[in-house]
Amino acid sequence: MLKKYSQMDIYLQEIYSTIYKNAVLFLKRGIKEIIQNDKEIFDPETAIISCLYIQTSIELSLKAYLIKEVDINAILKSSETFSSEILFEKFKENHLKTKTYEELKNILKDNNDLVFFTNLHFDHLTKFQLYRNKLIHLNLFLSEDEIINLKKELIFAVTHLLMPLLTDISFEFESPSEFYQEHLDGKDFNKLISFQPYVDEMHRMAVEYSGLAYECINCCKKTFSPNNEICYCCNLNLLYSAGYIDCEACEAKRAIVYDTLNIHEEGNEHSINGVCMNCGDKMNVYECPDCEIRFTFYGQPDFVEKICKC
């Protein structure tokens, strides 16, 4: 992102940054709306306002993304070319006419080397737009099912649609929570990571992109992956500080977590307490300082049977 940004001249950078900032602004306000509602389903007002904010953010993000990845002419209605200085003047005076949402969406569809959106993503983009139009033009003729679905739809938008447009986050190694921790105030961020539809989506994401998700020792949501050592919800990062071992009690793979920074401290005898993030079982973990051998035990380690040959 930085490289492409630095390739733009100052006028284009200014246009891009303004659009990007506004996209983030609407996203933040949208999130505020979504998370303030703790009822099972949205009340009509929250439904309308959150849809409006998020849809506006999607449109702006799409424009910012295309300016950065293609060029500014990709989003402009007129095919006439102007210098970026003149474009900037027009932008400041609100005279830049941009393509419709539908046209912008089709640029993504027609270019496989742009953001990786599957049919599922495009279905959601369309469905979301439909909800928003229904809410605004037809004044709330949403079925009960659609209202119930709206929370999930909004969470899909703020994770799977907006993150790839606004960030370089790769879900294999990072989570959308990283972006939200940076941009939301502390209170809103904490609300978001406790908001059940978001937690559910982070669980799905952890499983899909890392292969595993267990209960996080920090936020207690089932969103921690021992494979990439991050929690998709609260951003807990245990890289270089924890070890993982299979649990004998529940047979979950790499589910027991233990502290590798302190296990070899003097007095610990190469053992430390561990906890299974799947079944909650607590035991001790022994890790040989000379070889790779590790095992779990309750009370005293069974050195006769399990200790390594070092």
Judged by the rule CB under 5 A, the positions of this chain that interact with Zn ion are 216, 218-219, 231, 233-234, 236, 247, 249-250, 276, 278-279, 281, 288, 290-291, 293, 308, 310
Q: How far is the CB of 263 from Zn ion (least distance, A)?
A: 14
Cβ nearer to Zn ion, comparing 107 with 288: 288
Q: How far is the CB of 287 from Zn ion (least distance, A)?
A: 9
Q: How far is the CB of 171 from Zn ion (least distance, A)?
A: 16
Q: How far is the CB of 255 from Zn ion (least distance, A)?
A: 5
Nearest CA to 125 among 89, 153, 90? 153
Cβ nearer to Zn ion, comparing 205 with 234: 234
Cβ nearer to Zn ion, comparing 70 with 250: 250
The Cα 22–Cα 58 span in angstroms is 11
Cβ nearer to Zn ion, comparing 212 with 234: 234
β-sheet bridge partners, residue 256:
245, 276
The Cα 222–Cα 232 span in angstroms is 9
Q: How far is the CB of 302 from Zn ion (least distance, A)?
A: 15
Q: 143: phi > 0 → left, psi -120 to 50 → alpha, else beta; which?
A: beta
Q: What's the Cα-to-Cα distance from 195 to each of 32, 66, 110, rounded to whole Å? A: 11, 31, 35
The Cα 172–Cα 106 span in angstroms is 27
Cβ nearer to Zn ion, comparing 87 with 202: 202
Backbone φ and ψ for 296, nearest 5 degrees, come out as: -105, 155
Q: How far is the CB of 73 from Zn ion (least distance, A)?
A: 44
The Cα 262–Cα 227 span in angstroms is 21
Cβ nearer to Zn ion, comparing 30 with 274: 274
**Token digits of residue 32:** 């505020």
Q: What's the burial of 165, exposed, middle or buried (CB within 10 Å: 0-12/13-18/19+)?
A: buried
Cβ nearer to Zn ion, comparing 130 with 250: 250
Rg over alpha carbons for the chain, rounded to the nearest Å, is 24
Cβ nearer to Zn ion, comparing 13 with 218: 218
Nearest CA to 48 among 132, 118, 137? 132
Q: How far is the CB of 32 from Zn ion (least distance, A)?
A: 22
The Cα 4–Cα 184 span in angstroms is 25
Nearest CA to 257 among 240, 274, 236? 274
Q: How far is the CB of 251 from Zn ion (least distance, A)?
A: 7
